[in-house]
Chains A and B, each alone.
Chain A
Amino acid sequence: MNSPLRRYLFSTDHRVIGVQYLVLALVSVTIGTLLSLLMRIHLVWPDRILPFHGPILPEDYLALVTIHGTIMLFFVLTTAPQSGFGNLILPAQIGSRRMAFPLANAISFWLTAVALVILLSSTFVPGGSAISGWTAYPPFSAVASAGPGQGAGMDMWLASIAVFAVAGTIGAINTLVTIIKLRCEGMTWDRIPLTVWGWFTAALLSVIAFSVLLAALLLLFCDRHAGTSFFVPTGDLVSGVIHAARHPGNGSPLLWLHLFWFFGHPEVYISILPGLGLTSMLLANFSGRRVFAYKTMIVTTLLIGFLGIMLWGHHMFVAGLNPYAASAFAVSTMAIAIPASAKVLSWLATVWSSRPRYTTAMLFSLGFVSLFITGGLTGPVLAQPILDEYLHNTFFVVAHFHLIMAMAAIFGLFAATYYWFPLMTARSGRSGRMMSERLGRLHFWATIVGAYATFLPMHLTGLMGEPRHYAQLIGVPNAAGHLLAGTLPLNRFITWSAIFLAAAQLLFFANLIHSLLRGKPAPPNPWQATTLEWHPALYPNAPVEAAAERIVVYRQPCEYQSSAGEELILPQWSSEAIPNIKPE
């Protein structure tokens, strides 16, 4: 019962599970990054021979695209912020000592791990991994003869994502019930930290969206193996052969797109919402200010989630969607700019003419703001069906979502790691460790320079007309070849930047290992934070007696007060009256 295996591997403790999720995400992100580097290198030096593999064929390139996208979106951007930090920090932030369903929590993690193993092992089946992208559009994904990886590899992909969807739903239910039922005394909804609101909204979206994905996967499975044709049109030409399902039907890929993106768009928000909340909290924490317009920030978080349910059609503007539906989706998509801009304004107003402490976590939060703006500004551009028509299948879109979703979310994750590292490393009888600030700053500057150098030029190559999913830019005949050749100098630059960006992450690993072993011991509440995870009785190294201590919350988070040069920090658990404060 108390064996180390039970305590650290098959544990039901939320903090252990959180660390497990983070380790899983770290493994995944490493694999995903290496795959993306392979893609970048292949794009500009197509003749390079990969050791132990041989030349990268077009189908290999597509397999790289697929596995990179699937791993990054599902196993990094969904698991790390939502399940990883969600488990590590969320219960403490609402003043609880546990999650609502510990066993379900552990089951959810192990299902996720199984899903990852299935996905990775799909490389070794005959034909290799699936090549239809993380979106798996039919008929490509529905017909085994459509490509090398579309047989067994695609089946493994389906199995992996189905298991992941189940795991994600279980985890989300756990998060929701925890937030609704396990809040401590005094934790009213306007006192819940914005990070928790981010986790709450993301969990709610998971509950709504993942089961739709599951239904779509079931129908796709029927198309592949039961002879139906929900998604395959009649008389479809696949690999030069008219595809004859055992039952020729009236399917339409558009149907898959609807179902998939009903899931896919909320999924994007699942990965970014925790980061949005964290950024608000960290900016306020390090500038010693209240969050500007706290209640509005709660509303905008929820609004982003709510609108996120009904704008999936903007992924389908060039997929044969009815133009009237396209207009409706365009309007709902642009509406998302309102809460998003409100968030940006609140961040700016929070730090405006304050004297922030530029810790690494703060720097990464500011980086998040920067990337969120840069990536977000192209959102309304792509939300116009007319513009999207031109840009949709170009690198412009790649630049857009890599900046706003991938890079911004990753910056959120880095901020979270630097900020909460003392909590991750504290154990009973010993305080946690800080990450090295010097290495951290270096890591930040290298990362933000690398991120912009990698993804900003992609806008330009996209505008020049470089299409997505092309395995090869060199050796294309005629005018297209000219066009692609014109993008090559920029593409070489992008590849070098990507290599630089990836190499900069070695600093992070170095910092991680160094700080785990010899990090400075962290003082209690090292960042002068106001949220409950730094409460002495909820701290991981709290003495055993503290487990019985009653946690009560008296105020909103981030109540900093500077009067007459005196900085006053009022944590949520402090019951002191605020001197000289005007009633709201």
Chain B
Amino acid sequence: MPTTITPTSTEPKPKRHLEDHDHGSGRRPPTDKRTGGGGDNENWNDRPNGHRGPRERLIRYRMGIFFALASDLMFFVAIVSTFFVSQSTGHFDAYNNYVNEWSPTLIPPILWLNTIVLILSSITMETARRRMFHEVDVMDEWLGLGKPITRAAIPWVAATVVLGIIFLIGQWIAWTQLALQHVFFLSNPSSHFFYLITGVHGIHLILGIFGLGAALIGLYVSRSLETRQIMVDCASWYWHSMGIFWLFLFTLLVFFQ
């Protein structure tokens, strides 16, 4: 029964020579040029797939991460909707009194510090991301002058990881402070949400730190400039979004309880 299909190789065989600094785009410098460089309004987008300039793969991955983040946004929107409904829902007790047990959870002041740390980490991450596309360095790499981009970006990515871990430790301290005041996950509908939101966001940040770790390893290991750019770029968009999500969630916890 030979009626099975023959799989094609999914990644097109790279006919490029990394030693020769060819990025699969016709040995053009991997800078962000709108045109194909051939004059006469030559446009990357008029070319077939796989030949649309040095950023084609990057843009594809970036779009993928954006859709993943859009999906994640809906996750948080669902939780926030539940937050609003739970907040204003009460019940009738045995004496027919209407009770709403929601009492706002006091926000530990350390969360403000954490928020600042997270904003700082976003700034370091953005710096790292921009370093990846720094045109002079990109050209240096293309010409074969070592890996200046990696050298420039690694400290910033590492700083982001450190700041991220500091943020997570800060969140943990906030939890222990609340626990010292005998506010636990089960204490109140409001505390359910406090722990749930900080916890779920924390899990996302842990994933983000894994992503950053992968990017750091990639920066060391990968010889393809585009792969390194993709890793840092995607990790950084994820990280920024987690920062923005946190700002919204923090605002919710501080002002809308």
Q: Which residues of A contact B (CB under 8 A)?
A: 7-8, 11-16, 19, 96-102, 104, 169, 172-174, 176-177, 180-182, 184-185, 207-212, 214-216, 218-219, 222, 226-228, 230, 233-235, 246-247, 249-252, 255, 258-259, 262, 424-428, 430, 433, 516-517, 519, 540-541, 547, 550-551
Contacts and interface: CB of A to CB of B under 8 A. Distances in A.
A92 to B, nearest CB: 11
A222 B79 CA distance: 13
B192 interface: yes
B95 to A, nearest CB: 13
A185 B7 contact: no
B50 to A, nearest CB: 9
Contact of A228 (B2, B60, B67, B186): B186
Given A97-B8, A216-B78, 17 more contacts: A13-B7, A14-B10, A96-B49, A173-B71, A209-B74, A214-B75, A222-B192, A249-B101, A250-B102, A252-B85, A255-B85, A259-B82, A427-B4, A428-B6, A517-B3, A541-B6, A550-B48
Contacts of A180: 63
Nearest to A549: B48
Nearest to A540: B5
Contacts of B11: 98, 102
B115 interface: no
Contacts of A233: 91
A250 B71 contact: no
Interface in B183-224: 185-189, 192, 196, 200
Interface string B67-78: 110111011111
Contacts of A11: 7
Given A19-B5, A516-B1, A169 B68 contact: yes
B64 A101 contact: yes
A207 B186 contact: no
A15 B67 CA distance: 23
Interface string B51-67: 00000100111011001
Nearest to A95: B49
B9 interface: yes
A208 B8 contact: no
Contact of B67 (A98, A176, A262): A176
Contacts of A174: 64
Interface in B1-55: 1-12, 46-49
Contact of A427 (B2, B79, B81): B2
Contacts of B196: 218, 222
B86 interface: yes
Nearest to B1: A517
A545 to B, nearest CB: 13
A536 to B, nearest CB: 15
A96 B6 CA distance: 17
Nearest to A515: B3
Given A100-B64, A516-B1, A218 B200 contact: yes
Nearest to A254: B85
B96 to A, nearest CB: 12
Given A177-B63, A207-B70, A227-B186, A98 B48 contact: no
A250 B7 CA distance: 55
24 contacts: A13-B9, A15-B7, A97-B8, A169-B68, A173-B64, A173-B71, A174-B64, A177-B60, A181-B59, A181-B60, A181-B63, A184-B49, A185-B48, A207-B74, A209-B74, A212-B78, A219-B79, A233-B91, A235-B91, A246-B186, A250-B91, A250-B189, A433-B3, A516-B3
Contacts of B188: 247
A519 B3 CA distance: 10
Nearest to A206: B71
Contacts of A15: 5, 7-8
Contacts of A551: 48
Contact of A12 (B10, B47, B85): B10
Contacts, number: 155
A252 B78 contact: no
B64 A255 contact: no
Contacts of B49: 96, 182, 184
Given A102-B10, A207-B67, A547-B8, A250 B86 contact: yes
A107 B102 CA distance: 42
Contacts of A101: 61, 64
B82 A255 contact: yes
B155 interface: no
B94 to A, nearest CB: 8
Given A185-B48, A250-B100, A262 B78 contact: yes
A433 B5 CA distance: 11
A438 to B, nearest CB: 20
Closest 8 CB pairs of A and B: A13-B7, A102-B10, A215-B78, A211-B75, A234-B91, A427-B6, A250-B89, A173-B67
Contacts of B186: 226-228, 246-247
A104 B67 CA distance: 14
Contact of A259 (B1, B78, B100): B78
A259 B189 CA distance: 18
Nearest to B200: A218
A517 B86 CA distance: 60
B90 interface: yes
Nearest to A219: B82
A104 B10 CA distance: 12
Contacts of A215: 74-76, 78-79, 82
Given A14-B10, A211-B75, A425 B5 contact: yes
A96 B56 CA distance: 14
A553 B134 CA distance: 37
A509 B188 CA distance: 57
Contacts of A12: 10
Interface string B102-124: 10000000000000000000000
Nearest to A14: B10
Nearest to A174: B64
> Of B8, B102, B200, which is in contact with the most chain A CB atoms at under 10 Å from its CB?
B8
Contact of A250 (B1, B9, B90): B90
A180 B52 CA distance: 14
Contacts of B7: 7-8, 11, 13, 15-16
Nearest to A226: B185
B192 A230 contact: yes
B48 A184 contact: yes
A212 B75 contact: yes
Contacts of A540: 5-6
A517 B3 CA distance: 7
Nearest to B192: A228
A100 B10 contact: no
A13 B10 contact: yes
Contacts of A227: 186
A255 B79 CA distance: 11
Contacts of B187: 247
A16 B9 CA distance: 11
A212 B82 CA distance: 11
Contacts of B100: 250
A517 B1 CA distance: 6
Contacts of A550: 48
A157 to B, nearest CB: 19
Contacts of A98: 8, 10-12
Nearest to B63: A177
B3 A169 contact: no
Contacts of A97: 8, 12
